[in-house]
Chain A
Amino acid sequence: MCENNHQTSNHPSHFENQNDSNEIPTHVELKWDEFQEKIRGFRFFDPHIHMVSRTTDDYQNMAQAGIVAVIEPAFWVGQPRTGLSTFKDYYSSLVGWERFRSSQFGIKHYCTIGLNSREANNERLADEVMEILPLYIYKEGVVGIGEIGFDDQTELEEKYYRLQLELAKEAKLPVQIHTPHRDKKRGTERSMSIALEHGLDPSFVVVDHNNEETVKSVLDQGFYAAFTIYPFTKMGNKRMVSIVEEYGAEKIMINSSADWGISDPLAIPKTAALMVSRGISHDVIRKVTYENAIEAFAKSGQIHVSDFENGLSSDPSDKFHGNSVLRGGQQPKRNQNSLFID
């Protein structure tokens, strides 16, 4: 695939199918003060967010909004990688630098590791990546294989999806499935039936990016159904509230998938605020914004709630002696209302 960069159809952007949806961006739905009041006291867990493409300001805002832990699935960085080294560096950043940066702002960072579907189409490189995956999936804080599955639904995508399902089985790790943007319904069904064919326990599998068309089948077959609140292309949070009203909270979880596109790292707290407004019970909100994700991914044996439920155990600036993200003695939170930058 990297040999044919000019074939743009192989690399559709996250903005594709923009016209398919008339969703209003989530960030204009509530007044800020109103929003903060509604989410007071909640803790949130975002099981799908690509922090590698987000800024430190996002971490600060997420922490302030009650997000205590995140899972960062390995995915596509916006352009195809051309060699194994860049995969290694990327995976290493997920378990290394990004996790460290997150901890500086009091957020526990986990990840899922996998070869993404778009890049599975470069067979030579995909084979090389498969060789090094075992050195990553057993690392501390790796809570699953992901995100894997289908994009264009090619034969090569299926080949590497199957190989990674086997790896997940062997390592007894949960799987995080990316379902395709195009031909989603068929792609979702195909992903699930292959997972079952490989003997995976559906309670170890999180099917992501669901919508009104896929949710019933996913839940009926015993899988976890994750929903991505992502403006324009995926699920809007008003629609999400309706889904929770219809299907309840069992095995449903919400994420932001925030990445390098127009997306919102506060998608979960904002959706929670909307659910509060609509009178959904706090127990249900807690399940879909916190507990269910933990229940699903804790099967990896790598999530210990005590690590984050009351915030990370120590003051980040003490713990790391002001190193790095907090350069030369910076404080974890600067005063954004001041003109002075000391």
Chain B
Amino acid sequence: MISIVASMFPSYSSILYQVLQDHTTQEEIQWLDSIPKTDSLALMTSFVKTPRFIQKTTIQKTSQNLIPEIPGFQVEHWNLVRLSRVWLLTFVSDFPKDQCIQTIETLFDTAELNELVALFSALPLLPFPEVWLPKATDAVRSNMGFVFDAIAIQNPFPFQYFSELAWNQLVLKTIFNAKPIELIYGLIERKNLNLAFSTIDFVKERWAAGRDVPANVWQLVSLYVSESEISLIERLFLSEKEEDQIAASLICSESNWNSFQSLFIKYPKYKEEIQKRKWDWSKLSIVFK
């Protein structure tokens, strides 16, 4: 785990401020400028009051690599209230450790849904990640969709700091909630054997109940599926859904098991297209969204 040095934070503030300047009205930026940035109570109440002064304009295209030191952190499609709040939190980062932690803890304790979204969105920028880790894993347990999304979707914090167990829970819950797993930052890099086993169990449970799973979920399983599970792949080939058949073909194309290669010969419909790179897991996510 990488520990981030406090002195880096002012630069985060200025990067976010630039985006704010590009999207706010003069009146809005004046309000943001008027907040005393070294006063903890003022920062907290401003964090709460933000929607009274800032519109919920959606931020359009920004750099995907907004903060080079934190790959995966991006503010595209956030609204201005969320960005303003995250920006305010970068000033809390400059406080002495105890005061910083206490201020952020108080905001967490008293937060409503949109404030929680901002707090979880800010985690990659905050110092002392080990302090926020339990909150982040708790957020995965949240039943509030927006809160779950704030930690699970396009947020680099779990990729960087979650244990394997917590990471796997995040991915499984994303599947369970029928949300797009391809938007989890670092999904491919953190594929692992235990996650594959749990996913296979989950698929069997869904199928037993007469329900299905999105085809791109099979990318978590692909490298780890054993020969004894070949009946699952054959069932995928027999699915009426094209995306399931493509997923089965992708699994076979990635597998070294002879039995899987034999299966691929039996169902060769997408073999050529895969060889020509018409299909891979990311394209499956995009085409069958």
Query: B136 → chain A, closest Cβ, in Å?
Result: 17
A95 touches B44 (CB 8 A): no
Residue in A99, A132, A325 whose CB lies within 8 Å of B113: A99
Please measure, in the bound complex, the distance between the C-alpha atom of A95 and the C-alpha atom of B144, giving whole angstroms.
Answer: 12
**Bound-state Cα–Cα, A132 to B106, Å:** 9
The answer to whether A92 and B45 touch (CB under 8 A), given A321-B179, A324-B143, A324-B145, is no
Residues of chain A within 8 A (CB-CB) of B221 are none
B residues within 8 A CB of A320?
A: 145-146
- A301: chain B residues within 8 A (beta carbon): 52
Q: Is the CB of A96 within 8 A of B177?
A: no
CA distance A132 to B107 in the complex (A): 11
Q: Which of B110, B114, B146 has the most CB of A within 10 A?
A: B110
Q: Is there an interface contact between B110 and A321, defined as CB atoms closer than 8 Å? A: no
Q: Which chain A residue has the least Cβ–Cβ distance from B142?
A: A324
Known: A96-B116, A132-B110, A139-B112. A329 touches B178 (CB 8 A): yes
CB of A235, distance to nearest CB on chain B (Å): 32
Name, among A96, A99, A329, the residue most crowded by chain B CB atoms within 10 Å (CB to CB).
A96
User: CB-CB < 8 A to B116: which residues of A?
Assistant: 96
In whole Å, how far is B252's beta carbon from the nearest beta carbon of chain A? Answer: 29
Q: Considering the complex, which residues of chain A in the window 71-100 have a beta carbon less than 8 Å from any beta carbon of chain B?
A: 85, 88, 91-92, 95-97, 99-100
Least CB separation from A325: chain B residue: B143
Docked complex Cα distance between A88 and B107 (Å):
11
Whether B178 and A88, one on each chain, are in contact in the complex, defined by CB atoms closer than 8 angstroms, is: no
Q: Are A135 and B45 in contact (CB under 8 A)?
A: yes
- Binary flags per residue of A89-124, CB closer than 8 Å to B gives 1, else 0: 001100111011000000000000000000000000
Number of A-B contacts (CB under 8 A): 68
Task: Kindly identify, within residues 219 to 271 of chain A, every residue whose CB is under 8 Å from any CB belonging to chain B.
Answer: none
B133: min CB distance to chain A, Å: 21
Give the residue name and chain of the A residue nearest to B144 (CB). A100
Are B110 and A140 in touch, CB under 8 angstroms? no
Which B residues are in CB contact (< 8 Å) with A91? 110
Residue of B at shortest CB range from A316?
Answer: B145
Residues of chain A lying within 8 A (CB to CB) of residue B178: 321-322, 329
Contact of B48 among A88, A135, A323 (CB under 8 A): A135
CA distance A136 to B115 in the complex (A): 11
User: Is A140 touching B112 in the complex (CB atoms < 8 A)?
Assistant: yes
Docked pose: A139 CA to B48 CA in angstroms: 6
Per-residue 0/1 for B169-196: is the Cβ within 8 Å of any A Cβ (1 yes, 0 no)? Answer: 0000000111100000000000000000
A136 to B176, CA, bound (A): 33
Q: CA A322 – CA B178 in complex, angstroms?
A: 7
- Binary CB contact string for chain B from 83 to 115 against chain A (1 if under 8 A, 0 otherwise): 000000000000000000000001001111111
Q: What residues of chain B lie closer than 8 Å to A88, measured between beta carbons?
A: 109-110
Instruction: Pick from A92, A132, A321: contact of B112, CB below 8 A.
Output: A92
- Given contacts A138-B52, A140-B51, A321-B179, is CB(A92)–CB(B110) below 8 Å? yes
Cα A322 to Cα B211 with chains together (Å)? 14
**Minimum distance in angstroms from A216 CB to a CB of chain B:** 37
Nearest CB on B from A138, distance (A): 5
Check B143–A96 contact: CB distance below 8 A: no
Q: Which residues of B are in contact with A by a Cβ distance under 8 Å?
A: 44-45, 48-49, 51-52, 106, 109-116, 143-146, 148, 176-179, 211
Q: 20 A–B contact pairs at CB < 8 A? A: A92-B111, A92-B112, A95-B112, A96-B111, A96-B112, A100-B144, A100-B146, A132-B110, A135-B44, A135-B110, A138-B45, A139-B115, A141-B112, A301-B52, A320-B145, A320-B146, A323-B144, A323-B179, A329-B178, A329-B211
Known contacts A95-B113, A141-B112, A324-B145; 13 further A-B pairs (Cβ under 8 A): A91-B110, A96-B116, A135-B48, A135-B106, A136-B48, A138-B45, A138-B48, A139-B48, A139-B115, A321-B179, A323-B144, A323-B145, A328-B177
5 closest cross-chain pairs (CB), A and B? A324-B143, A95-B112, A320-B145, A323-B145, A135-B110
